[in-house]
Amino acid sequence: MHSNKTTIVVSGSIAFDHIMNLKGKFADYILPDQIHKLNVSFLMDTVKKEFGGTGGNQAYSLALLGEHPHLLTTAGNDFTSYNTYLQNVGVNTDQVEIQRAMPCAVGFAMTDLNDNQIWGFGSAASGEITKYKPDHFLHTFTDKKNLFVILAPQHQDAMIRWATYCRTNNIRYMFDPAFQIPQISNTQLERAIAGAELLFGNDYELALISSKLKLATLFDIFRKNAKTKVVVKTLGPNGSIVYDLIHKKEYRIPAVRIAKVVDPTGAGDAYRSGFITGYLNHRSLTRCGCMGSVAASYAVEHYGTINHTFTHTQFNKRLKDNYADMLELHPKTHYEL
């Protein structure tokens, strides 16, 4: 699948993730009434260093799905092996700015038996994105009307700068503020969402946005500004909900049935890639959600964020096996990528 005339650019972090698994549950270590003086240590069962970062993760799965994304970000002096890995699946990394004096960002993810996660993140070269204006990366794209920008989680100043640039220049974009929501002012957050065509978040993140912006429901986003067409709420093992703001409809998408969840890290990024691939190829919102769930299912079956692979035939079979009944409600769409 390749979105007609649409050039996808991904602005997000490049990182090396250190993924660790706890044999127990975080709840066994934390006393809720003592959270104000938290001092805990977790003994991890496994530790692996993997390629990661929101920008790299999403660009990777987009390439698996047949798209040709351009990754526009900063990376460190240890990016060489990661760069080769991305290029081998079809990600264009020509405009990744290498910071020679520092390494790539590092992420530390701890996952318990309930698939709850605690993250730590050191920005390193990823933080240098704030030195570059969006036009530094985008000036080579002469046909800006056919750009679609994915604003994946990264330094909050860069996210707001990119959102402002896209909104001012009428460039379509997806906004996914994630863990940066508390760092972004209410006014900046509202403007960034207002100019975005798509808004993504998990249930906690969207609840936080609703609280900050005093939204009674997520459909209120449309009344504030008509550019935002779709909100996608991911619910982990409980699937996702796709909100059609224009028609005031919501579609509940169950998670894909898989034999074993190995590692949930990166599932959200894979979901976004699947959804956006469907969206830019004019599929129904229901089908976009199903495609997102299928992409996410491949990620959780593997340790790390971008160790999964699939062929189009495999993807289509899993899509049909899990969602045939739902997709038959939309006879004008097809199963295939």
| Count of the separate structural domains present in the chain | 1
Are 271 and 297 in contact, with CB atoms under 8 Å apart?
A: no
Question: Which amino acid is present at 128?
Answer: E
Confidence class for position 335, pLDDT limits 50, 70, 90:
very low
Q: Which two tokens stand for residue 44?
A: 């991890």
Position 14 scores a pLDDT of 97
Q: Let me know if residue 193 belongs to a domain.
A: yes
Sorted by sequence, the CB contacts under 8 Å of residue 57 that are 6+ apart come out as 12, 152, 266, 269, 270, 305, 306
Residue 77: give its domain's CATH number: 3.40.1190.20
112 vs 96: which has the higher pLDDT: 96
Residues 6+ apart with CB under 8 A from 256: 293, 294, 296, 297, 318, 322
**Is residue 310, in this structure, part of any structural domain at all?**
yes
User: Rounded to 5 degrees, what are φ and ψ at 150?
Assistant: -95, 115
Residue from 319, 321, 241 nearest 285 by CA: 241
Q: Quickly state the pLDDT bin for 330 (edges 50, 70, 90).
A: low
Q: Is residue 306 part of a domain?
A: yes
Residues 323, 288 contacting (CB under 8 angstroms): no
- Domain assignment of residue 334, yes or no: no
pLDDT for residue 88? 98
CB 18 within 8 A of CB 48: yes
Quick one: which H or E segment has residue 98? strand 97-99
DSSP states of 197-255 = SEEEEEHHHHHHHHHHHT-SSTTHHHHH-TT--EEEEE-GGG-EEEEETTTTEEEEEPP
Percent over 90 (pLDDT), the chain: 76
Secondary structure element (H or E) that encloses residue 85, with its range = helix 80-89
SS3 for 152? coil
pLDDT confidence tier of residue 303, bands split at 50, 70 and 90: confident
Tell me if 39 is assigned to some domain. Answer: no
Tell me if 197 is assigned to some domain: yes
DSSP 8-state code for residue 198:
E
> What is the span of the domain harbouring residue 215?
7-32+45-327
Rounded to the nearest 10 degrees, how much is the dihedral formed by the CA atoms of 269, 274, 275, 277?
Answer: 120
In a domain, 169, yes or no: yes
- Rounded to the nearest integer, the mean pLDDT of the chain is 92
Residue among 187, 143, 141 at smallest CA distance from 163: 187
* Residue 312 belongs to a domain: yes
Residue 224: predicted pLDDT: 60
- Evaluate whether 315 touches 287 at the Cβ level (below 8 Å): no
Could you count the other beta carbons within 10 Å of the beta carbon of residue 236?
18
Q: Give the mean model confidence (pLDDT) for residues 253-273.
A: 93
Between the ranges 82-86, 213-217, 236-240, where is the mean pLDDT highest?
Answer: 82-86
Mean pLDDT, residues 209-219 taken together: 93
Q: Do residues 109 and 179 touch, judged by C-beta distance below 8 A? A: no
Whether pTM > 0.85 for this model: the answer is yes
The strand pairing partners of 74, in sequence order, are: 97
Strand partners, 109: 19, 119
Q: Is pLDDT of 309 > 50? A: yes
Reply yes or no on whether the pLDDT at 111 is more than 80.
yes
